[in-house]
Amino acid sequence: MQLNEKNIINLFYIFLATHLIIWTTIPAATNNNLPLDTIEHLAWASNLEWGYNKHPPMVAFSLEIFYQIFGSKDWAYYLLSQIFVIISFFVVFKLSEDFFEKKIFCLISVLLLEGIYFYNFTTPEFNVNVCLIPFWALSVLYLWKGFKDNKIIDWLLLGLFAGLGFLSKYLFIYLGIAIDIFIIYMILKKKIDFKIIVSLIPFFLILLPHLMWLNENNFTTINYGLHRTGADNANILNHIKHPLIFLGKQIGILIPFFLMLLFLNNKLKGKFNFKDNKLLFLISINIVPIALIFLTSMIMGVKIRTMWMTPFYLFFGVLVIYLFQSQINLNKLKSFTTVFIILFIFSPFAYAYISITKTDKRTDYPGKKEAEKVKMFYINQNEVTGEIAYVKGDEWIAGNLSYHLEERPKWIYDPNNVHICNKDLECIKYK
């Protein structure tokens, strides 16, 4: 096949469709139950609020939309994850079109992401990390469009998607700071005017309900985040240990990515021109957020959990291809394609193998059967009457009941026991 512009775009859409199909069907076929985070967030979604004890509400809003359409069909939530992933891939491709004259470089920029397991192996579990990535990607796209064209609509969309990013996960703040640094620098260089201020309107309007909820709930979500990092229990050693562990893990994560890149040319040397606005932009949205989270670990002595880095590498392919484009040997595309296909096949195969052979996973939990037992238990007892309206318990057992029971009872947190309740909150203990 001749790689003209039309064929490259067609190949890109084939890649998106194939990725979506594979990573929807394999988990659906090999898992007996949805993963922990997805069940927990579905439990939140049964009782929609403007925030929860661990995270902002966007993940719950997204899941509830799908629940109202598909109900308790596990494949739908694997599909939801992949929709979020391929939207992000599409945005990366659209941004790259402004950075490369050759469409093949746009395609390679996206294909390289298959070498980062955040965008394949871990995506079946729809959680706050997966929820964040399209809004992270769209914020970057409209920052660039706003900078390039200076249109009000682009700045408004930047504010919109940045607000939705914060509603997905507070970790968006690292991209937010990187965006602010880039904007301030370009304002000082007189390459951005104050039209950008309009982006603050949708940003704060979207965040306002959540901010009010935070205030009413003693900032519980922020306190949880600080606790998860170990910020409340840091010692001197942690200021050295945690940053070094963080760096080591990032290198390990990126090995397949750079392996794919080396098959395009094994003698790549970057050319840096810091007067190049495109390069400054790519450094701002790729390197600055990673540097900031590393500094957070070093200064505060906190642990950065691996999965938190999920959105940080979305545009890494665009950056490295932009740096090395003059040295990339397109005659080696066959070698690159071979390595890509191997990784593309290996990841779902490894996922399926682990899912089938490892028998002590959360996804082996018989959630549907347990819900059927609970239903019969409730029908046969004589203490409480009426339809099941609430389930009390932890995020896992009670969360599964909330998801699998056809009544779609609302979940109420109880760390000790599982109770089944009617609409008047008359309850009977199950476990």
Of the listed ranges 141-145, 167-171, 233-237, 330-334, the least confidently predicted one is 233-237
> Residue 272 and residue 219: Cα distance in Å, rounded?
43
**pLDDT per residue over 78-135, tens digit each?**
999 999 999 999 999 999 999 999 999 999 999 999 999 999 999 999 999 999 999 9
> Residue 136 and residue 319: Cα distance in Å, rounded?
16
Cα 186 to its chain centre, rounded Å, is 29
Query: Mean per-residue pLDDT for 259-277?
Result: 80
Q: Which residues contact 55 (CB under 8 A, 6 or more apart)?
A: 128, 169, 170, 221
pTM for the full model?
A: 0.95
With cut-offs at 50, 70 and 90, classify the pLDDT of residue 51: very high
Q: Which residues contact 235 (CB under 8 A, 6 or more apart)?
A: 301
Query: Three-state DSSP class for 409?
Result: coil
**pLDDT per residue over 10-27, tens digit each?**
999 999 999 999 999 999
pLDDT at 271 over 70: no
Amino acid at 285: I
Any idea what DSSP says for residue 421? E
Domain boundaries, the chain: 5-357, 366-429
Q: How far apart are the first and last CA of the chain?
A: 62
What per-residue confidence (pLDDT) applies to 2?
Answer: 64
**pLDDT per residue over 359-377, tens digit each?**
889 999 999 999 999 999 9
**pLDDT per residue over 316-362, tens digit each?**
999 999 998 888 888 889 999 999 999 999 999 999 999 999 888 99
What per-residue confidence (pLDDT) applies to 27?
Answer: 97
Amino acid at 228: R
**pLDDT per residue over 134-160, tens digit each?**
999 999 999 999 999 999 999 999 999
> Residue 208 and residue 38: Cα distance in Å, rounded?
26
Q: Are strands 390-393 and 410-413 parallel, antiparallel or unpaired?
A: parallel
